[in-house]
Structure 1
Amino acid sequence: MTQTYWLIPGRRADVRRPGAVYLHITRRVDRYGMPVDGVEDGYVGRARDVARRTAQHAGLIPQRSGEIVESAWFDLKEGETVVLESGLFTDAELDERERAWIGKLRPRYNDRDNPRPDRIRKFEARRHRDTRDAARGLVPRQWEPSQIGVKPAKSRAMSAKWRRRRNVALAYVGAWAGLTVLLWLLTAAACADLPWRTFPIAATGAVGAFPMLRRSKKQERLFIVVVVTVACVLLWAATD
Structure 2
Amino acid sequence: MVEVPLGDRGWQKLGPDPAIRAWADAARAVALQTLAHSAEPWRCGGTWFVGVDALPNAADGSIGGTPFPWQALPLTPEPLRQAQLSVIRPGYPQPSLEETPAAFAYRRDRDAAHLDGLLPIGPTKARMVKEPHAWILGLPLNDTKASPLVLWEGSHRILRTALRKALTPHPPETWGDIDITEAYQAARREVFATCRRIELPAKPGEATLLHRLTLHGVAPWRPHDTAPPEGRMIAYFRPQLPTVEAWLTNP
What is the TM-score of this pair, normalised by structure 1? 0.18
What is the TM-score of this pair, normalised by structure 2? 0.17
Q: Relative contact order (alpha carbons < 8 A, sep ≥ 6): 1 or 2 greater?
A: 2
Between Structure 1 and Structure 2, the one with more helix by share is 1
Higher CA-based Rg: 1
